[in-house]
Amino acid sequence: MSHLLFLSITSLGVLALGCSGPDCGPGGAFEFGLTVSSDQVSLVFGDLVAGANNDCPDPAAPAGVISLTIMGAEMGSTGIITFCVPRPDLLQTMALPIGSSGVKVIDLNATDASCSYTFDASHLPTGTATSTGMCGNGSDKAGFALVFDGFVGLKRTCGATMDTVNVGLTGTVAVTAS
């Protein structure tokens, strides 16, 4: 009996520390695998890092669920992308909408050879985001992969010309936990 009690206490300690299991981690996801593109623009983001910062908490979340902030960089440039996930416990098990209730786009800015781009919050994002290999609500040191299949609006500035473009937000990208 004491052996079983020891195993139970040991198991709880492992869960509390967020130790990696065999199903945790980004798998074969690329470090720079998130594309923001249309027939007019192609931007690539990656180097994503998730932190349980509680920047966008969901008041309906169960006790102990801490929202994730996920930040990344534009490949070959100074652009950034930032998401906030109020319910990483749900992202761990199902597809969530990209937008205000699921995976929130907080910031997206980027440049290419002739234009600069910023997230256009007036065009509501559509589509879904899912995760694979996510453990510990995204705080497991093994990391995980995010899979995006949606659209966002961008404000585009090319010299003196400003307009908006609708772009796909797609791909599977590795995320590390901070």
Residues 6-29: pLDDT tens digits?
333 333 333 334 456 789 999 999
Q: What percent of the chain clears pLDDT 70, i.e. is strictly above it? A: 89
- Joined together, the tokens standing for residue 43 give 């931007």
Please check whether residue 8 lies inside any domain of the structure: no
- Residue 157 predicted with pLDDT over 50: yes
What is the mean pLDDT of the segment spanning 139-146?
97
Please check whether residue 2 lies inside any domain of the structure: no
Provide the 8-state DSSP code for 133: S
Give the C-alpha distances (Å, rounded to integers) separating 119 from 23, 69, 155. 34, 17, 6
Please check whether residue 6 lies inside any domain of the structure: no
Residues 30-89: pLDDT tens digits?
999 999 999 999 999 999 999 999 999 999 999 999 999 999 999 999 999 999 999 999
The count of structural domains within the chain is: 1
In angstroms and rounded to an integer, the radius of gyration of the C-alpha atoms of the chain is 18
Please check whether residue 4 lies inside any domain of the structure: no
Which residue range(s) make up the domain with 104? Answer: 23-177
pTM, 2 dp = 0.87
> Could you identify the residue written with the tokens 């690329």?
30
pLDDT of 167: 98
Please check whether residue 107 lies inside any domain of the structure: yes
Please check whether residue 7 lies inside any domain of the structure: no
Please check whether residue 1 lies inside any domain of the structure: no
pLDDT of 20: 63
> pLDDT band for position 100 (50/70/90)?
confident
